[in-house]
Amino acid sequence: MRFPLPAWPRSMGRTGRAISRLGATLLLGAITLPNAYAADTPAANADLVARGAYLTKAADCIACHTANKASPYAGGVGFPTPFGTVYSTNITPDEAHGIGTFSDQDFISAVREGVSKGGKRLYPAMPYTSYTKLTDDDILAIRAYLKTVKPIASSPPANTLPFPFNQRWTLGFWNILNFNDGRFKPDATKSAEWNRGAYLATALGHCQECHTPRNVMEGLSSKDLAGAQLGNWTAFNITPDATAGIGSWSPEEIAHYLRDGAAPGKANAAGPMAEVVENSTRFMSDADLHALATYLKTVPARGGNGEVSRFGAGTPLAGVTDIRGRVPAVPVAGLPTDGKTLFVANCASCHSVTGGGIGGDALGNYPSLLHNSVVGSTNPGNLTMVVLHGVNRETNHGDVAMPQFGTELTDDEVALLVNYVTKQFGNGATTTAQAVHKLR
């Protein structure tokens, strides 16, 4: 899933050479299908397109290249940056506005090198700095699938970047410092599953693009997967640190979260991560999800800076007798409100009055606020965004939704509610009405 990034460039790369045909076969494992150089037969082409469709979902191409769901892959998604806005391109096979005239080599160069047809440099909101690790076979399978989507005669808006950022040739200098061209190299000392997970995480799925903090040039820092700020959302630490990261998660919990957007007692996907689940990871095979989990459990742990666990805090609410008889917690001028009253009025019907949720660990449950990543975080930004904007993600088992309260509650009331929830059920992080207003 990709989604609007707070700044370009959002990139990272690796040095190396293209892996061998045998290496690609190992990486593809159980889903290996005829590659881009297979015999030109209807069956081979159908398999290639099917494989490309799977890889396109795993790479979450649709998230960045679809501003209007009625026009998939037609581009136009805006990426706000400190320097202006970059808009994604049309990657449908339309010859005038899309990539219909691209050769295979043009497509490979754009995806893996950030250089489009005619030598046009791409802004690194396009994660070519991670895609540089992709194999030829995978890129050409994706191309084969994109050739089958509906051509759409639509051009994205023009980028709004002032000089000198509107000069694409300057990206060559940025690449020298932040882009390492090279294919993924399997580690012969690791299992095939681990290598598959490493390829999915660092190349196709490009996890580091959201979960790794940025350096002063907006390139990826050396603190791989240690967590980062994405506009109004926090992409949490996903290294196996026992406190700051996901070290307490089992591989099965990681796979469950990627497939369904929920790991009971740990986290529920919202915001950009909900989009990743909806558009990408829920379509991945169980073998690939477990390979990803296997790899993530082995990356260097990042933490040790006084972080507290996001999953171990909170006390159930014992009762509400102390607020019975109070005036309703509604946004009416002059009526007194407090966080507990707001919680009972707006949240308890789904999350239960104790905060323990309803439905247990069943799919489609109303999650517990105890031992919940967004509530237990020391940064209340994600919880505030959930209260303001709600949750809406489509899963393989149905839609998961939470209403937005931004239209019902004032900035002061949202701050009161968030502060009560974090104090009662989390780590006690606090926000202010001013901070809530900025997140609107």
pLDDT reported for residue 129: 94
8 Å CB contact between 338 and 416: yes
Q: Please indicate, yes or no, whether residues 28 and 154 belong to a single structural domain of this protein.
A: yes
- Work out the pLDDT band at 333, boundaries 50, 70, 90: low
Number of independent structural domains in the chain:
3
Q: Which CATH number is 360's domain given?
A: 1.10.760.10
pLDDT reported for residue 82: 76
In terms of Cβ atoms closer than 10 Å to its own Cβ (0-12, 13-18, 19+), residue 131 is buried
**pLDDT surpasses 50 at 131:** yes
pLDDT reported for residue 351: 95
Q: Residue 313: inside a domain, yes or no?
A: no
The SS3 call for residue 83 is coil
Q: What does the pLDDT average to over 321-329? A: 63
Domain of residue 50, residue span: 21-184
pLDDT reported for residue 80: 84
Q: In whole angstroms, give the CA distance from residue 288 to residue 59.
A: 13
**pLDDT surpasses 70 at 169:** yes
Q: What percent of the chain has pLDDT over 90?
A: 68
pLDDT reported for residue 327: 54
- Of residues 13 and 365, the one with the higher pLDDT is 365
- Of residues 30 and 120, the one with the higher pLDDT is 120
Q: In whole angstroms, give the CA distance from residue 20 to residue 135.
A: 9
Max CA distance (Å), the chain: 77
Q: Residue 77: inside a domain, yes or no?
A: yes
Q: In whole angstroms, give the CA distance from residue 278 to residue 62.
A: 11
Q: What does the pLDDT average to over 68-73? A: 95
- Of residues 361 and 129, the one with the higher pLDDT is 129
Q: Please indicate, yes or no, whether residues 353 and 289 belong to a single structural domain of this protein.
A: no
Determine which of 204-218, 246-260, 309-323, 368-382 has the lowest per-residue pLDDT on average.
309-323
Q: Which of 296, 330, 347 is the last residue of a domain?
A: 296
Q: Please indicate, yes or no, whether residues 244 and 344 belong to a single structural domain of this protein.
A: no
Q: What does the pLDDT average to over 151-164? A: 92
What residues form DSSP beta bridges with 121? 115
Q: In whole angstroms, give the CA distance from residue 107 to residue 101.
A: 10
Q: Please indicate, yes or no, whether residues 341 and 289 belong to a single structural domain of this protein.
A: no
Of 140, 152, 135, 134, whose CA–CA distance to 49 is shortest?
A: 140
Q: Please indicate, yes or no, whether residues 285 and 340 belong to a single structural domain of this protein.
A: no
Q: In whole angstroms, give the CA distance from residue 266 to residue 85.
A: 35
**pLDDT surpasses 60 at 136:** yes
Q: What is the mean pLDDT of the chain?
A: 86
Q: What does the pLDDT average to over 105-125? A: 94
Q: Residue 10: inside a domain, yes or no?
A: no
Q: Residue 147: inside a domain, yes or no?
A: yes
pLDDT reported for residue 312: 81
Q: Residue 109: inside a domain, yes or no?
A: yes
pLDDT reported for residue 359: 85
Q: Residue 249: inside a domain, yes or no?
A: yes
- Work out the pLDDT band at 337, boundaries 50, 70, 90: confident
Q: Please indicate, yes or no, whether residues 238 and 155 belong to a single structural domain of this protein.
A: no
